[in-house]
Amino acid sequence: MTSFVYSMYLTGAGGIINSNVGLGLALFYGGAIQLLAGLFELKRGDVFHATVFSSYGGYWICFGFVHLDATGIIASYKDDPEMLKNALVVGGILGGN
C-alpha cells in the first residue's frame, strides 16, 4: 500500500503534488509494521524473512524521516535536488532494497 501511494505521487496521478501524502504509511505501515513482522519472523527462527521484512521496514522508516518536515532533510537539498535523488538511490542499493 505504501509503495502504491508513493507511486501515485511520483507519477502525478490524480493531481497529487504533496510528498507528505504517504508519510504516515511510510513511517508506520511500511516501516514499523514491517520491522515488527521481521522481529516476529526472527522469533520463529526464519532468518531470511526476518532480514527481508526488517530491511524493507528500515528503508520505509528512513524514507519517511527524509520527507518529515521537522527533520529538514528535504529543505537542505533545495539548492540541488538531484543530490537528494542520488542519496536515495545509493541508500536503496546499499540497503539491499
Note the pLDDT tens digit of each residue in 27-57.
999 899 999 999 999 999 999 999 999 988 9
Q: Which long-range contacts (CB under 8 A, 24 or more apart) does 53-59 make?
A: 55/95, 55/96, 55/97, 56/30, 56/97, 57/30, 57/31, 57/32, 57/33, 58/31, 58/95, 59/91, 59/92, 59/95, 59/97
**Residue 90 in this model has a pLDDT that exceeds 80:** yes
Q: Report, as an integer, the average pLDDT of 57-79.
A: 89
Amino acid in position 12: G
- Residue 8 in contact with residue 14, Cβ under 8 Å? yes
| Whole-number average pLDDT of the chain | 87
Counting the structural domains of the chain, the total is: 1
Query: Whole-model pTM?
Result: 0.79
Percent of the chain predicted with pLDDT > 70? 97
Q: pLDDT: is 62 or 36 the higher one?
A: 36
User: Domain range for residue 13?
Assistant: 2-94
Take residue 6 and report the three cell numbers written for it: 508513493
| Distance in angstroms (rounded) separating the CA atoms of residues 92 and 97 | 5
**Residue 95 in this model has a pLDDT that exceeds 80:** no
